[in-house]
Amino acid sequence: MIRQAAQTQGARIITTDSHIQEDNVSYLIDYEVNSTTASGGKSKGSIYIRGLKNQNGIDSYKFVLEKGVDFNALDSDMILAALTEVNRQQPPQSP
């Protein structure tokens, strides 16, 4: 998604990191995107995905989007994409 926004929103991935130890998994993506408040400026953010891969198929993950200032459309798109994927994998139960 960040790479797709390169042309339209000036987005680019700055660094990535991942760590896997037994069932624990963590990913980090640092990125920047065009500023919505300062013409020609960039706004930086980080995405953290941490969780546990469970042998019985019930994985548990936490998605964190960290921004100091200047929320961009890309930021909202990433949050919506994460929520959509969660709902796809685990649809809400009927009451």
Query: Token pair of 78, please?
Result: 């990433």
**Mean pLDDT computed over every residue of the chain:** 85
**% residues pLDDT > 70 (the chain):** 92
Average pLDDT rounded to a whole number, residues 11-22: 92
The pLDDT score that the predictor gives to residue 90 is 66
The pLDDT score that the predictor gives to residue 95 is 66
User: pLDDT tens-digit profile of 31-73?
Assistant: 999 988 888 899 999 999 888 877 776 778 888 989 988 888 8
